[in-house]
């Protein structure tokens, strides 16, 4: 297993560019590869702390767009009027209702960087990862406009193919991506659903 390098290339690059997390380069790569974001879009970012994804999304959607970011951890203010953040638990029974109250109406993109607290037991971690991705897909299914997009992190393995089939039922095209900024030892990949049916 590769040794964890806290100050690797992407860590240093994020610091140099004023980004809050090295993970910002993951959403940036996916967004550019599949032309995900446009000016004026409405976006939901699940698992948004510390805000690296939000920084990239805000830059892409511009001042006429709007993004809401939620996480179990508080997100330091980004200093822009077109972003709302909240401490929320996606596993709570009332999550969808609270999200709707925070940001009503349909959305253009649902992004999920949600990840479970890992136990070290592979099957348990896979199941938890897929459950979180499933919640993100439910939000996209319920709130995404026709033609909207979906991006979700999950761990490869377990019921991955079944989940990909679920995404294919909702979106016209589905891609599997492992961004360059992903750590070598990580099991994570991203599923990208393009153009909601």
Query: Is 106 contained in some domain?
Result: yes
pLDDT by 10s per residue, the chain, length 197: 444 455 666 566 657 666 677 788 899 999 999 999 999 999 999 999 999 999 999 999 999 999 999 999 999 999 999 999 999 999 999 999 999 999 999 999 999 999 998 888 989 999 999 999 999 999 999 999 999 999 999 998 889 999 999 999 999 999 999 998 787 778 899 999 999 99
pLDDT at 11: 65
Query: Is 60 contained in some domain?
Result: yes
Task: Print the domain residue range for 59.
Answer: 9-196
pLDDT at 6: 56
Query: Is 71 contained in some domain?
Result: yes
Structurally, the chain folds into a number of domains equal to 1
**Separation of alpha carbons 48 and 174, rounded Å:** 23
Whichever domain contains 147, its CATH number is 3.40.50.150
**Separation of alpha carbons 20 and 10, rounded Å:** 11
Query: Is 4 contained in some domain?
Result: no
Give the list of residues 6+ apart from residue 143 with CB closer than 8 angstroms, or none: 44, 100, 105, 106, 107, 110
Residues marked active site are found at 153
């Amino acid at each position: 297993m590769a040794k964890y390098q806290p100050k690797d290339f992407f860590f240093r690059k994020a610091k140099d560019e004023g980004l809050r997390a090295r993970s910002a380069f993951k959403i940036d790569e996916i967004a550019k590869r599949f032309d995900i974001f446009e000016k004026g879009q409405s976006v939901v970012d699940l698992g948004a702390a510390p805000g690296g994804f939000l920084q990239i999304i805000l830059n892409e959607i511009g001042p006429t767009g709007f993004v809401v970011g939620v996480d179990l951890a508080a997100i330091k203010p980004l200093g822009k009027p077109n972003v709302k953040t909240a401490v929320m638990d996606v596993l709570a029974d009332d999550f969808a209702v609270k999200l709707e109250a925070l940001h009503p109406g349909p959305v253009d993109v649902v992004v999920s960087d949600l990840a479970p607290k890992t136990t070290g037991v592979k099957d348990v971690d896979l199941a938890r990862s897929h459950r979180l991705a499933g919640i993100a897909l439910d939000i996209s299914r319920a709130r995404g406009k026709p033609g909207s997009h979906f991006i979700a992190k999950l761990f490869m393995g377990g019921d991955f193919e079944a989940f990909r089939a679920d995404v294919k039922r909702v979106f016209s095209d589905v891609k599997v991506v492992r961004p360059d900024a992903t750590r070598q030892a990580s099991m994570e990949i991203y599923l990208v659903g393009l153009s909601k049916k």
